[in-house]
């Protein structure tokens, strides 16, 4: 039985919460809230890009501070997020949106995207397109927050991510992880099996290849300089500490200084 190639976060969507099982979403929500409150005087409308199954934006909803929207390009992820939101009566609006082709009627005081989602953009031109699309739906003096993974993080993460495995329901996955430092691409190959209830008989096999471009801080700063944004902060990990070239994860905070 051959592995069927599927687009990223289709079959894996049902396994995503298992894959991210050790993530402290409340800590992430507190960090995003701290950044927003530090850099915006009166934030009301907030959107998450690449929200996945909605766990982070749902944690942010518990703070009862914002009108929240979650978007993701994967219909399967958004379907799960909506079910979780309805179960919690969270009142979050979820939409299927690709941040390279944002088509939003609403505007926002803050937009954020985390968990290396920007690393799925493979060149500066794509990042600039994402930045421009967010600019169009940000209110004047709104802020854009996004993080990215650096080469140091990939070098450290390659070993513990490789041979990772897990399961949820009648699905199980095995991950192969490899970083190419010359091309600065990190590959995560997920082999997924759909099995019978006995856990032995394999019904289908799938394969999702996730390719992320890994940027240095200097590279990202150069890209941001070409945009219309004003850089107001670059933070390291989960602290409001200035990031540098030794940071494994950098969170950028950009401001949209446009006229009313």
CB 81 within 8 A of CB 51: yes
Fold held by 5-150+229-256: Rossmann fold (3.40.50)
Least-confidence region, from 74-78, 87-91, 92-96, 218-222: 87-91
CB 135 within 8 A of CB 72: no
Going from N- to C-terminal start, the domains of the chain cover: 5-150+229-256, 152-213
For residue 242, the model assigns a pLDDT of: 97
Q: Give dist(CA 82, CA 87) in Å, integer.
A: 8
Nearest by Cα to 125 from 207, 15, 22, 213:
213
pLDDT above 90 covers what percent of the chain?
89
Q: Give the integer Cα–Cα distance in Å for 188 and 186.
A: 7
Q: Are 9 and 77 in contact (CB under 8 A)?
A: yes
Using CA atoms, how far apart are residues 140 and 160, in angstroms rounded to an integer?
42
pLDDT band per the 50, 70, 90 thresholds, residue 260? low
Alpha helix (H) residue ranges in 10-74:
16-19, 25-39, 55-61
| Angle subtended at Cα 47 by Cα 42 and Cα 51, rounded to the nearest 5 degrees | 145
Strand runs labelled E in the chain: 4-5, 45-48, 67-72, 93-96, 108-113, 138-149, 165-168, 171-180, 185-195, 202-213, 230-236, 249-256
| Rounded average pLDDT over 209-226 | 97
Structure tokens at 19: 């894959």
Q: What is the pLDDT of residues 162-212, one digit of tens each?
A: 999 999 999 999 999 999 999 999 999 999 999 998 777 999 999 999 999
pTM over 0.85: yes
- CATH fold, domain 152-213, is Nuclear Transport Factor 2; Chain: A, (3.10.450)
Q: Tell me which residue of 233, 225, 229 sits closest to 252, measured CA to CA.
A: 233
Q: What is the dihedral of CA 147, 188, 245, 156, to 10 degrees?
A: 120
Residue 52 has phi, psi (to 5 degrees) of 60, -135
Domains 5-150+229-256 and 152-213 share a fold: no
Calculate mean pLDDT across residues 109-129: 97
Q: Quick one: pLDDT at residue 4? A: 87
């Amino acid at each position: 039985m051959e592995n069927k190639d599927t687009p990223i976060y289709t079959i894996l969507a049902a396994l995503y919460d298992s894959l991210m099982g050790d993530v402290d979403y409340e800590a992430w929500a507190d960090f995003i809230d701290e950044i927003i409150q530090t850099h915006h005087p009166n934030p009301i409308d907030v959107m998450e890009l690449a929200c996945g199954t909605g766990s982070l934006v749902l944690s942010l909803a518990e703070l009862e501070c914002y009108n929240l929207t979650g978007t993701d390009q994967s219909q399967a992820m958004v379907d799960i997020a909506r079910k979780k939101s309805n179960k919690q009566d969270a009142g979050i609006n979820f939409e299927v949106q690709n941040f390279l082709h944002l088509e939003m009627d609403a505007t926002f005081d803050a937009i954020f995207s985390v968990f290396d989602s920007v690393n799925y953009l493979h060149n500066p031109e794509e990042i600039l397109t994402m930045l421009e699309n967010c600019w169009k739906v940000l209110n004047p003096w709104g802020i854009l927050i996004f993080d990215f993974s650096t080469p140091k993080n990939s070098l450290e993460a390659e070993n513990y991510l490789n041979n990772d495995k897990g399961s949820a329901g009648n699905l199980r996955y095995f991950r192969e992880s490899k970083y190419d430092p010359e091309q600065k691409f990190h590959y995560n190959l997920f082999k997924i099996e759909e099995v019978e209830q006995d856990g032995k008989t394999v019904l289908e096999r799938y394969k999702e290849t996730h390719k992320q471009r890994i940027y240095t801080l200097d590279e990202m700063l150069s890209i941001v300089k070409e945009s219309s944004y004003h850089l107001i902060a670059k933070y390291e990990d989960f602290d409001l500490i200035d990031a540098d070239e030794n940071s494994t994860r950098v969170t950028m905070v950009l401001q949209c200084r446009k006229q009313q």
